Structure formats: structure tokens, C-alpha cells
Structure 1
Amino acid sequence: MATVLKIGSDEGPTASELDAIDAEMPLIRAEIDYLDAVISVLDRDPTEVDTRRLRRARRRALDARRTLANRTMGPGEAA
């Protein structure tokens, strides 16, 4: 679901654009958590706890992506 924002010099996002952003927030938060987990192990070898954190964060991001796709796809629409 890609929404293109057209913002003029004194315009803000419309209500529908804000609703689209709001609908994507669980995915955005999950992807930020996953990115934080990845960044935390960039300069060192991941421990067992790090590996679990990465796996859980990735799973949450994938779940959020699936939930968003299932919610935005209507009957008969392809992903």
C-alpha cells in the first residue's frame, strides 16, 4: 500500500493520508524494532540472547506486514 503525499507550500496531509499512515504504524514500529536489533549486533558477534531478539523482532515485523496486507487487500486482489 503506497500512498504518495502531495504537499504544497501551505497544505498538510489529508485525513485519508493520515489514516493510511496510522494503519501502517504497527508495521513501522515493528520494522524499527527489528532495525534496532540488527544495529545492536553490527560490531560484535551476536549472543544467544541477541539471536533470540533478532528472531523475535523479525517475526513481529513479518506478522505486522502480513496483518497489514490482509487488512488492505480486498477479495480477489493480489498482493
Structure 2
Amino acid sequence: MKHIGAVQAIVTADVFDREPTAAELDAIELESPLILAEVDLLDAQIKAMDHPENEVDTRRIRRARNRMLDARRDLANRTAGASTAGGAA
């Protein structure tokens, strides 16, 4: 059986072997508060799955969900403000 593959490294290594651009790093930095809030919500949900439902877990999940929604709102407001900043008259 013959192995079929790229003979030249240039064919496969072009896109995946590069560093992130400054714009990509800026986008990650802009979204990092939302990402961290989503991770906190997921952690709270996972902790609540280990035992029967109780009030402490319910409050922990509710607070984490509110932080995630706040971060999502802040991100949406920042990106909306950035796209209209040279704005129409």
C-alpha cells in the first residue's frame, strides 16, 4: 500500500506554523473577560453536579451567570462603540 502525503513541507506548514497577529491578540484580549466568566459559570455548574441541589450551589450558579451576562454586555457595547466610532452625522 502506498502512502499518500505531501512531499514538500511548504504545502502543509504554511497556515498552521505562524504566530498570531497583533489583531488576533487584541481580539483575544478584548474577549478574555467573557471567556473567564464563562469558565467560572462552567466550574460552578460542574461543582453542582457532584451532589444534590442546594441553595449555595444555586446562588453560586446564579452569580456566575450574572457575571457572564455582564461581561457579554460589556463586550457587545465595546465592539458596537468601536464599529460606529467615526460615525455617521
Among residues 1, 18, 21, which one is paired with 1:11 in the alignment? 18
Give me the CA root mean square deviation.
1.5
Among residues 44, 62, 65, which one is paired with 1:58 in the alignment? 65
Give the number of the structure whose residues are more often helix, by fraction.
Answer: 2
Q: TM-score, normalised by structure 1?
A: 0.79
- Structure 2 residues not aligned, in runs of 5+: 1-13, 85-89
Among residues 42, 64, 68, which one is paired with 2:49 in the alignment? 42
The number of aligned residues is 69
Question: Sequence identity of aligned pairs in percent?
Answer: 61
**C-alpha distance in 2, partners of 1:17/1:56?**
30
Determine which structure has more spread, i.e. the larger CA radius of gyration: 2
- Structure 1 residues not aligned, in runs of 5+: 1-6
Q: Structure 1 runs of 4+ off > 3 angstroms?
A: none
Q: TM-score, normalised by structure 2?
A: 0.71
